[in-house]
Structure 1
Amino acid sequence: MGSATTQAIAATTQALDATSGIDLDVAGELFAAARAVGDSSQLSGALADSAAPVDARRQVVAAVFGRAVKPATASLLTTVVSQRWSSAAELVDGIEELAVRAAALAEPTADVEEELFRFSRTVAENPELELALGSRLGNADAKGALVEKLLGGRASRATTLIAASLVQQPRERRVRQLLSRATKVVADQRGRKVATVFAATPLNAAQTERLAAALSKRYGTAVSLNTVVDETVVGGLRVQIADDVIDASVSSRLADLRQRLAG
């Protein structure tokens, strides 16, 4: 991600936080806008062209989306194209990220991170499902409908919207990669980090609470836990937060001991 894009995302996120009336309709319109811009190299190029006057880019947004979207959506898209982006692809990514954040804001009490993580695990454990959702030959609308059918009644509307929207425009990204990124974006929007915990057996409530408290103290922010049961861990835990890995598993200690004995 280029430095221009980093600044642009910060500006658009700030604009989202300051915008009233954010609901799932706005989030859905932002996802649709990301697909429309992503599907047209001419449109994405025009909107990401930093050499073009800002007013000209804003006029393109008005002409393309205009009254077809809610005022809040139009305002946010205008803010997006007013920024400088490192590339047209990162502009599309920026609109998509804004859509994920909007969905998280629309249902603040829904456990979107947990639900996205669980769906990601379902995809990982079902190769046929992963192939169906990730195939380049598959119909985008059909993929979205499949996700809605799988998650309907089992996840919040925000989670269903995010997952169904992302699989319709993978842009060379794997489904699990899309869901993982969305989980991190939702967590960031809610002011916390996501930790993936690998353990030989499920953690009980007390263990989960203690670990979350310890990690929150270490990182200086709230931490939500996603637990993966992995028998290869043997005992102890392996925790991953972004690029940090804390490995306190028995398997890791045994591997280290074998390495030392091998000299």
Structure 2
Amino acid sequence: MAGVSSESLSAALADLETTLPTASLSLARELFGIVGVLDGSAGLRRALTDPSREGSEKSALVHSLLDGKASADAVEITAKLAASRWADARDVSDALETLASTVAIAVAEQGAGTASGLSGLEKLQNDLFAFNHAVEESHELQNALTEQQASPEAKRSLALRLVPQASEEAKLLIGQAAAAPRGLKPAKLIERFAALAAGRQKRWIADVAVARPLTGSQAERLQTGLNRLYGRELKMNTTVDPLLVGGLRVTVGDEVLDASTVSRLGELRRQLASQAR
């Protein structure tokens, strides 16, 4: 996906962030179900991606089809996608699949108890990798999961028997990949899901470059400051770069804080400086 479709997907993912903190696995299931509806109707996909139609018209079409049949959140997410611009009719289905899997990944991220945040995402990835490892080890399983005569539900059932200890979020993604790989081999779609989870993991990791090694108290204060800044318990990885301008650079996900972002890093640098005296 590239060009205008990539821009529309990026905007949709950014908009989805407001929904993710309270999202449930049922929302991901609904969105995957709507992907199936779109995949089953080339005419509907063309109508929702027709560049000659106004976004509001395409959004209204989604509401007319789905209102009362899916949750308000699922309908609104789909309607906003339809209102965007797409280079190819299939792109809207691909984008909705990405949003659905992102919801499932975010639910794993929310987690409960010890399996939340970074650990929740790591467990999800491990479960996905466990499925792919089992499939890679058996040509019989590979053939069964791609058998054209087998029903989607039969493939889903077979896939889930391979990972009985997997989380509910992983089971949803694995079942979806087996039942509706959408032109891919199930293992390849699982790799895509795992890559999305890895991208979300980066939000929990702070890669910190410093001009000189931090003392124990400096590292502790920096950790506290970053946790407060981002509102979550980050894993901090520190490296020393003597040539670093400004003395400190922090990368969390796609965001880089360096000497140019004085307003955000100023307090952190002052905290470190006070410890160095």
Tell me the TM-score normalised to structure 2 length. 0.67
**Which residue is 2:18 aligned to?**
18
Which residue, out of 135, 138, 146, partners 2:158? 146
Q: Unpaired runs of 5+ in structure 1?
A: 194-211, 223-263
Q: Distance in 2 between matches of 1:50 and 1:186?
A: 32
**1:96 equivalent in alignment to 2:108:** no
1:174 aligns with 2:175: no
Q: CA deviation at 1:156?
A: 0.5
For 1:46, what is the secondary structure of its paired residue?
helix
Instruction: Name 2:86's counterpart in structure 1.
Output: 85
Name which structure has the greater RCO, CA cutoff 8 Å, separation 6+.
Answer: 1
- The structure-2 alpha-carbon separation of the partners of 1:85 and 1:145, relative to structure 1 and needing over 3 Å to count, comes to same
Mean Cα deviation higher: 46-55 or 177-186: 46-55
Between the two proteins, the alignment pairs up a number of residues equal to 201
CA distance in 1, matches of 2:33, 2:68: 14
User: C-alpha distance in 2, partners of 1:192/1:131?
Assistant: 37
CA drift at 1:130: 1.4
Query: Could you give the per-residue CA deviations for residues 179-236 of structure 1, whole angstroms, max 9, x where no partner exists?
Result: 111100122234369xxxxxxxxxxxxxxxxxx9599x9x9557xxxxxxxxxxxxxx
Change (3 A) 1:21 1:144: same
2:134 corresponds, among 91, 112, 122, to 122
Whether the 8 Å CA contact 1:100–1:162 is kept in 2: the answer is yes
1:177, CA displacement in angstroms?
A: 1.0
Distance 1:119 1:68 in 2: 32
1:89-128 per-position Cα deviation (integer Å, ceiling 9, x unaligned) = 1211111010110001112123212211121111111111
Taking structure 1 as the reference length, what is the TM-score of the superposition?
0.70
Kept after mapping to 2: 8 A contact 1:15/1:79:
no
Answer yes or no: is 1:74 the counterpart of 2:75: yes
**Could you report, residue by residue, the CA deviation over 1:220-257 in whole angstroms, capped at 9, with x for unpaired residues?**
557xxxxxxxxxxxxxxxxxxxxxxxxxxxxxxxxxxx
Partner SS, residue 62 of structure 1: helix
SS of match in other structure, 2:183? coil
Structure 2: gaps spanning 5 or more residues: 110-115, 205-235, 242-249, 254-277
Identity percentage of aligned residues: 22
- Give the counterpart letter for 1:165 in structure 2: Q
> Distance in 1 between the 2:37 and 2:166 partners?
26
Tell me which of 182, 198, 202 is aligned to 1:187. 198
* 1:158 Cα deviation from its structure 2 partner: 0.4
Question: How big is the alpha-carbon RMSD for the aligned residues of Structure 1 and Structure 2?
Answer: 2.4
Matched residues in 2 for 1:68 and 1:36: separation?
Answer: 12
Deviation at 1:86, TM superposition (A): 1.7
Does the aligned pair in 1 maintain the 2:45–2:89 contact within 8 Å?
yes
The alpha-carbon deviation at position 14 of structure 1 amounts to 1.0
Indicate how the Cα distance of structure 1 residues 114 and 168 shifts in structure 2: closer, same or farther if over 3 A, else same. same
Deviates more, 1:116-125 or 1:140-149: 140-149
Amino acid at match of 1:49: D
1:255 maps to which residue?
none
TM-superposed deviation, 1:69: 1.4
8 A contact 1:134–1:170 mirrored in 2: no
1:105 aligned residue:
106
In the TM superposition, what are the counterparts of 1:1-263 in structure 2 within 5 Å?
Answer: 1-19=1-19, 21-108=22-109, 109=116, 110=120, 111-152=123-164, 154-191=165-202
- Asked if structure 2 preserves the Cα contact closer than 8 Å seen for 1:144 and 1:164, the reply is yes
User: Residue 151 of structure 1 aligns to a residue in which SS?
Assistant: coil
What is the CA–CA distance in structure 1 between the aligned matches of 2:127 and 2:238, rounded to whole Å?
23
**Based on CA coordinates, which of the two structures has the bigger radius of gyration?**
2
